[in-house]
């Protein structure tokens, strides 16, 4: 282990292919595939795992494997879960008549951290993005329409990113639900244009949810 660290310290301008172990090189390459992880960070992470106890390294590996094998998606909202229903949809304390529409699971976590929302969610699994080849058919929009048609909802909250793609998806959903009598609202624009919900501080996001506005009024302002 010490020899490997000494080798890397002496060869700071190394390329990944110059690492003295192919096994170690493979570990670095795999870690570097994670979002936001560069080669140097991947190298530090691999070194940390290498010098960890065998039991800790095995526990880390098994946690990743179990995540892929055992995690399920809630049949009601699409959130990650250990069972058919996630803890949110399965809770008798949540108001199931109010549905907050989000892009993905990261947004569920962000909104839950505010403690300002007591309804349930509907995870689309993305947003409409023609540049990336993602259309309405690739998203879980039909599942939302089925919930509306069930007649048990009192409000739909649109909590998608404040981007062109997010606005496009908002408008598409609004047009799909326009014929229903259910109010469609959108979180207040306390969030900067172009921001993702997961990067918004909890206070700002919480206020945006509490101070949500009717989506129809936003459409009317844009048309004026």
Q: Are residues 150 and 125 in the same domain?
A: yes
Q: Classify residue 192 by its DSSP letter.
A: P
Interatomic CA distance for residues 94 and 70, integer angstroms: 25
* Residue that has been written with the tokens 């007649």 in this structure: 151
User: What residues make up the domain containing 54?
Assistant: 2-70
Residues 6+ apart with CB under 8 A from 224: none
Task: Note the residue count of the chain.
Answer: 224
pLDDT score recorded for residue 19: 76
Q: Is 179 a member of any domain?
A: yes
Q: Are residues 121 and 204 in the same domain?
A: yes
pLDDT score recorded for residue 221: 62
Q: Is 79 a member of any domain?
A: no
Tens of pLDDT along the chain (224 residues) come to 555 555 444 444 445 456 778 999 999 999 999 999 999 999 999 999 999 999 999 999 999 999 999 999 999 999 999 999 999 999 999 999 999 999 999 999 999 998 889 999 999 999 999 989 999 999 999 999 999 998 889 999 999 988 889 999 999 999 999 888 899 998 876 554 445 566 566 666 777 777 787 877 666 666 55
Q: Is 78 a member of any domain?
A: no
Interatomic CA distance for residues 60 and 71, integer angstroms: 16
- Read off the tokens for 90: 């399965």
CATH number at residue 60: 1.10.8.420
Please compute Rg for the chain using Cα positions. Answer: 22
Q: Are residues 108 and 218 in the same domain?
A: yes
Interatomic CA distance for residues 224 and 37, integer angstroms: 45
Q: Are residues 31 and 127 in the same domain?
A: no
Interatomic CA distance for residues 1 and 144, integer angstroms: 54
Q: Are residues 126 and 36 in the same domain?
A: no
pTM, rounded to two decimals:
0.77
Q: Is 77 a member of any domain?
A: no
Q: Give me the number of domains the chain comprises.
A: 2
Q: Are residues 19 and 110 in the same domain?
A: no
Which of 42, 70, 98 is the last residue in one of the domains?
Answer: 70
Interatomic CA distance for residues 165 and 131, integer angstroms: 10
β-bridge mates for residue 121, sequence order: 100
Query: Is 203 buried (19+), middle (13-18) or exposed (0-12) by CB count in 10 A?
Result: exposed
- Read off the tokens for 6: 């000494």
pLDDT score recorded for residue 12: 45
Q: Are residues 143 and 40 in the same domain?
A: no
Q: Are residues 96 and 66 in the same domain?
A: no
Q: Are residues 32 and 129 in the same domain?
A: no
| First vs last C-alpha separation in the chain | 68
Q: Is 104 a member of any domain?
A: yes
- Read off the tokens for 93: 């304390």
Residue 127 sits at φ, ψ, to 5 deg, of -135, 160
pLDDT score recorded for residue 27: 93
Which of 40, 70, 100 is the last residue in one of the domains?
Answer: 70
- Distances in Å between the Cα of 223 and the Cα atoms of 211, 215, 217, 218, 219 are 22, 13, 10, 9, 6
- Read off the tokens for 144: 């939302």
Q: Is 75 a member of any domain?
A: no
Q: Are residues 173 and 90 in the same domain?
A: yes
CATH number at residue 197: 3.40.1360.10
């Amino acid at each position: 282990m010490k020899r490997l660290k000494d080798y890397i310290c002496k060869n700071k301008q190394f390329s990944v292919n110059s690492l003295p172990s192919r096994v170690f090189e493979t570990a670095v390459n795999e870690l570097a595939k994670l979002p936001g992880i560069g080669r140097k960070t991947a190298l530090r992470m691999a070194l940390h795992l290498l010098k960890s106890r065998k039991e800790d390294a095995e526990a880390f590996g098994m946690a990743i494997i179990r995540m892929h094998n055992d995690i399920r998606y809630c049949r009601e909202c699409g959130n990650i879960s250990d069972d058919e229903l996630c803890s949110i949809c399965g809770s008798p304390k949540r108001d199931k008549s109010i549905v907050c529409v989000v892009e993905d699971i990261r947004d569920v976590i962000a909104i839950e951290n505010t403690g300002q929302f007591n309804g349930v969610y509907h995870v689309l699994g993305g947003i409409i993005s023609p540049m990336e080849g993602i259309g309405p058919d690739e998203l879980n929009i039909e599942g939302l329409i089925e919930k509306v048609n069930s007649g048990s909802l009192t409000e739909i909250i649109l909590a998608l990113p404040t981007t062109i793609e997010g606005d496009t998806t908002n408008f598409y959903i609004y047009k799909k639900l326009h014929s229903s009598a259910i109010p469609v609202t959108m979180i207040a624009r306390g969030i900067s244009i172009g921001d993702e919900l997961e990067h918004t501080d909890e206070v700002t996001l919480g206020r945006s949810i509490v101070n949500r506005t009717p989506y129809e009024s936003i459409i009317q302002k844009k048309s004026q």
